[in-house]
Amino acid sequence: MQSSAIWKFLATHRGYYCEGCLAEQLNLSVEDLRQCLSHRELADIAITYRVCQSCLAEKRVVGQRRSA
């Protein structure tokens, strides 16, 4: 259930979000978010180092993977 909420949020909100901002948007704890992302059920979710769209800090962020 949480993985579909993550995918749905990232599909409708372009860009990359840090764990803290994404967890806040989805009303999850950061630990719950990390656990969901660690299962790698979401092959089209990328974890990289960029600027967060929400807090504008450069850190590890989560976003939807784009196909070429």
CATH number at residue 17: 1.10.10.10
Query: Is the model's pLDDT at 40 over the cut of 80?
Result: no
Question: Both tokens of residue 17?
Answer: 């979000």
In the chain, % of residues over pLDDT 70:
88
| Residues spanned by the domain of 46 | 2-64
Query: What is the pTM for the complete model shown?
Result: 0.82
Q: Number of folded domains in the chain?
A: 1
Q: Over the stretch 57-67, which tens digit does the pLDDT of each residue have?
A: 999 999 987 75
d(Cα 36, Cα 68) in Å, to the nearest integer? Answer: 26
pLDDT at 39 over 80: no
